[in-house]
């Protein structure tokens, strides 16, 4: 919906990329501090603050100007950083050690459900009532999330405070999570091509926007099915194997997308991407949890999740510029460097991954 909104205001694909980057910038800059607050203050309070900010952003998108959109993206990105870090840390606290891969997959399942239903719902609302109807619906869903968290059974958790964390503000990034962060970055660098830019693909191919339901629905279903089907397997195979399989699926998705001239072929590429997301993201998140030291779990989740935000911001800007300069299918071909780099890093870090697996077996 956002790319269409920016274009309707007079922008192009490059400006869409800048708007995406405006979301990621505050999320990246503030996330290390938010991770510290999660460790030293309260998981639930940070989670709730992020939910409120996301809810507010849904209504602020109603301001019909580029300045309004950019400011709203700052609010939205800040809220997402708090929401994602607080929620991810609560997951890390609750997930059994033997089922962290499965738990991470289920936790990340909800965005798949949203990606399955909301783009189609947004297009229907856009047709019926314009962009205002879509943004009002987004804000209303945000209010429901705030109410659920405020009134729900999630206890007020104070967080674990570590002495070393209290003493060292300079140590905001958790070094043990830098490798999982990089895995997530290399994967998510391609994500805007499959979630943000399909409407611009449709416009370039003279395909009616209503036909995008034939893309978002099967891809969203694929995310849900893959997360449920692969969840248990993620804890039975090595993290290295899951990452390599995910990289292969990303490469296949980009290859198919580069051949697409219609929605069904693009949907096949999206399904392959959905499979990749069900392998790489849960494996990388589980690694971040497993490697995090006592008292630093919030900082570890914050550091790990930086990978996604850095990738969405830089990828959105990079692929938007590539679309304006070269058109389709150039972005899909250029993006192949991402899974290739992921494979190279997994191979390079094989000893570190093997040592982590051995340590997990020993402590488990």
Which of the four pLDDT bands, split at 50, 70 and 90, describes residue 181?
very high
- Return the half-sphere exposure (C-beta side, CA atoms, 13 A cut-off) of residue 51: 19
Beta-carbon contacts of residue 129 (< 8 Å; ≥ 6 apart): none
> pLDDT tens across 212-255, in order?
889 988 988 898 888 888 877 888 888 899 999 999 999 999 99
Q: Which spans in the chain are helix H? A: 2-8, 13-40, 43-60, 66-94, 100-107, 109-151, 163-167, 178-188, 191-195, 198-204, 213-234, 239-258, 263-291, 297-326, 330-334, 337-348, 350-363
Q: At how many degrees (to 10) do helices 100-107 and 109-151 cross?
A: 80
pLDDT on residue 34: 86
Arithmetic mean of pLDDT over the chain? 83
pLDDT on residue 153: 67
Does the pLDDT at position 332 exceed 60?
A: yes
Q: Which two tokens stand for residue 80?
A: 């997402």
> pLDDT tens across 24-74, in order?
788 788 888 888 888 887 888 888 999 999 999 989 988 888 888 888 988
| Buried-state track 51-82, b at ≥16 Cβ within 10 A, e below 16 | bbbbbbbbbbbeeeeeeebeebbbbbbbbbbb
Q: All domains of the chain, ordered by start, with CATH?
A: 2-151+172-363 (1.20.1250.20)
Does the pLDDT at position 76 exceed 80?
A: yes
Higher pLDDT, 222 or 356: 222
Which of the four pLDDT bands, split at 50, 70 and 90, describes residue 170?
low
The pTM of the full predicted model, rounded to 2 decimals, is 0.77
pLDDT on residue 183: 96
Location of structure tokens 């929605």 = 263
Q: Supply angle C-alpha 187, 348, 195, rounded to 5.
A: 5
């Amino acid at each position: 919906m956002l790319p269409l909104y920016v274009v309707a205001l007079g922008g192009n694909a490059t400006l869409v990329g800048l708007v995406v980057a405006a979301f990621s910038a505050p999320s990246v800059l503030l996330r290390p501090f938010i991770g510290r607050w999660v460790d030293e203050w309260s998981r639930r309070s940070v989670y709730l603050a992020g939910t409120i900010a996301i809810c507010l952003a849904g209504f602020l998108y109603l301001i019909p100007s580029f300045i309004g959109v950019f400011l709203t993206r700052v609010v939205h990105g800040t809220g997402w950083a708090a929401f994602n870090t607080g929620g991810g840390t609560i997951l890390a606290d609750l997930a059994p050690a033997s089922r962290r891969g499965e738990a991470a997959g289920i936790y990340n399942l909800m965005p798949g459900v949203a990606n399955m239903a909301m783009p189609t719902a947004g297009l229907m609302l856009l047709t019926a009532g314009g962009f205002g109807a879509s943004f009002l619906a987004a804000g209303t869903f945000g209010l429901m999330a705030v109410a659920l968290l405020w009134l729900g059974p999630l206890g007020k958790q104070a967080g674990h405070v570590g002495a070393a964390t209290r003493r060292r503000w300079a140590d905001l990034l958790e070094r043990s999570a830098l490798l999982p962060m990089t895995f997530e970055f290399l994967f998510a660098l391609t994500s805007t091509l499959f979630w943000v830019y399909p409407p611009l693909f449709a416009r370039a191919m003279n395909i009616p926007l209503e036909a995008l339901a034939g893309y978002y629905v099967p891809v969203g279903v694929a995310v849900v099915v893959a997360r449920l089907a692969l969840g248990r397997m993620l804890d039975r195979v090595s993290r290295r194997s899951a990452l390599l399989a995910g990289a292969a699926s990303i490469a296949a998705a980009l290859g198919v997308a580069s051949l697409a001239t219609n929605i069904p072929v693009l949907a096949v590429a999206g399904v392959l991407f959905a499979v990749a997301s069900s392998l790489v993201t849960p494996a990388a998140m589980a690694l971040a949890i497993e490697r995090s030291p006592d008292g630093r779990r919030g900082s570890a989740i914050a550091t790990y999740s930086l990978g996604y935000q850095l990738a969405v911001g830089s990828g959105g800007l990079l692929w938007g510029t590539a679309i304006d300069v070269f058109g389709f299918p150039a972005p899909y071909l250029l993006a192949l460097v991402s899974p290739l780099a992921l494979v190279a890093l997994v191979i390079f870090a094989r000893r570190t991954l093997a040592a982590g697996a051995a340590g997990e077996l020993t402590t488990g």
